[in-house]
Amino acid sequence: MSSAPTSTSPASNFIRTIIDNDLASGKHRAIQTRFPPEPNGYLHVGHAKSICLNFGLAADYHGLCNLRFDDTNPEKESQEYALAIQEDVRWLGFEWSGEVRWASDYFDALYAFAVELIQKGLAYVDDLSPEKMREYRGTLTQAGKNSPSRERTVAANLDLFARMKGGEFADGAMVLRAKIDMSSSNMNLRDPAIYRIRRAHHIRTGDKWCIYPMYDYTHCISDALEGITHSICTLEFEDHRPLYDWVLDNITIPCHPRQYEFSRLELHYTITSKRKLLQLVNEQKVTGWDDPRMPTISGMRRRGYTAAGIREFAKRVGVAKSENSVDMAIMEGAIREDLELRAPRVMAIINPLKVTITNFDGALTREADFHPNLPELGKREVAFASELFIEADDFAEVPPAGWKRLTLGGEIRLRHSYVMRCDEAVKDADGKIIELKCSIDHATLGKNPEGRKVKGVIHFLSCAHALPAEIRLYDRLFTVAQPDADKDGDFCKYLNADSLQVVQGWVEAAVKDAAPETHYQFERLGYFVTDRRDHQAGGKLVFNRTVTLKDSWTKEQA
């Protein structure tokens, strides 16, 4: 197996430097990574970065990456989440090595290793109450003290642990603790619990077990059993690394992976706490885990973010030890650039204003490219008739300085069509403009007018040929960059009341049969995608705004 990354590998980072050195020294002949989510919620943008890192490293170095579910907390886990996670990984463009793995695959081995620790005098059963255990644990500035249970004999501990497994004791009555150092400055080494009693139905093992191993104990052993060479996790697990090593150093296992930590992603205007995301779902602040305003992978996908764009975003934010607080503009820029290269272009009207052409009768069509730089996308027919829709924002009765769109007595070019002059604005009883009376220069179809220069170009739709569409205008879910900066405050008070506006718009007939998840650039308006849930090809048309053509948020907030 090759030890060299591909020629198109991303810029180096400290993890790549470690891998390069390990391969060059012969410490490893090939690398094996893993992505180990807990199936207790949908994956979010932070997980996307980790997926791109772990699977990307394996691909670049011709190694392998496992998908392993950390299913040690049965009360919060479900098959729905596990299936959604697998779909997300594949949608992002990655495939794991072999079958999906589960921590529960190793429950028998984990139990046997726990027995080994007891036999070596390195683990004991403790029956302190949770309150007493916290008291004995000490504080960051005060050492802990030994539990009275710490000096139980090996035989007594083996007996109690077997009886825990056999279901003789109530939930929470006892735990199995590693015997390390209650005076350690690292709180994770103060005799951490490695097994607890929990009667809960497990999504894979059913009711076979009533004791479940803790994450820190399970994770390192699972890595070792799978032959993981580089166990990569986020920085909050740095203080857990001594426990990771202690467990592997004290059991009989031939492989000892190394853990490396990088800074977790904090994306502005979002939250990445699964607990808080679940709160948004349960309190119906959003429509579900895949709401296009959510920072979940499924939400970003439904919004129209592309897998390639998310991978590019992960590449741009990089991998480091320092704080990784990232402006949303970086994500939106990566998505925008990807869609610019692939999305067909059509015209749509979101806020229609009727235009009547007074010197044209009938209808005509002209061919237009779906993309000026991608002839392989083909062409479509653009209809023109005497009654049109234009965007209401493209007309100003009293134009501001520098106005290059339509005004009374002014001319603009209609996209792919004629030069048009506005002759009259029709108003209703309240003084609102409801229609424009305009005329076209018949000599300007595909030509510039003679003797004058027309600066502005606007898009339009023929009223008779346009298709009605539900258009969902999504914006950022929160009004502040760090909505959960105050960990004790209510992050929901920063929810953006205008994060979704649903309007009845109009689109070109060319999109009539578009399948769900088809991307388009609506010219001059932004990038949109047909909704993967509600859109019906040939029927109800539903478009989600993915991102605007330019970053207007920063300017609006200034």
Catalytic residue (choose from 34, 68, 241, 274) = 274
Catalytic residue (choose from 150, 165, 198, 264) = 264
Residue 92: name the closest of 62, 65, 61, 63 by CA.
65
Are the C-beta atoms of 472 and 307 separated by less than 8 Å?
no
Q: Where are the beta strands (DSSP E) in 52-141?
A: 64-69, 101-102, 123-126
Catalytic residue (choose from 34, 38, 137, 336) = 38
Are the C-beta atoms of 72 and 105 separated by less than 8 Å?
no
* Amino acid code (one letter) for 426: V
Q: Is the dihedral of CA 311, 72, 136, 125 positive or negative?
A: negative
Residues in CB range of 490: below 8 A, 6 or more apart: none
* Neighbouring-strand partners of residue 363: 385
The Cα–Cα gap between 551 and 143 comes to 52
What's the 3-state SS for 149-195? HHHCCHHHHHHHHHHHHCCCCCCCCCEEEECCCCCCCCHHHCCCEEE
Q: Is 27 a catalytic site residue?
A: no
The Cα–Cα gap between 435 and 427 comes to 7
Q: Is 274 a catalytic site residue?
A: yes
The Cα–Cα gap between 519 and 306 comes to 9
Q: Is 432 a catalytic site residue?
A: no
First to last CA, the chain: 53
**Catalytic sites, residue numbers:** 38, 264, 274
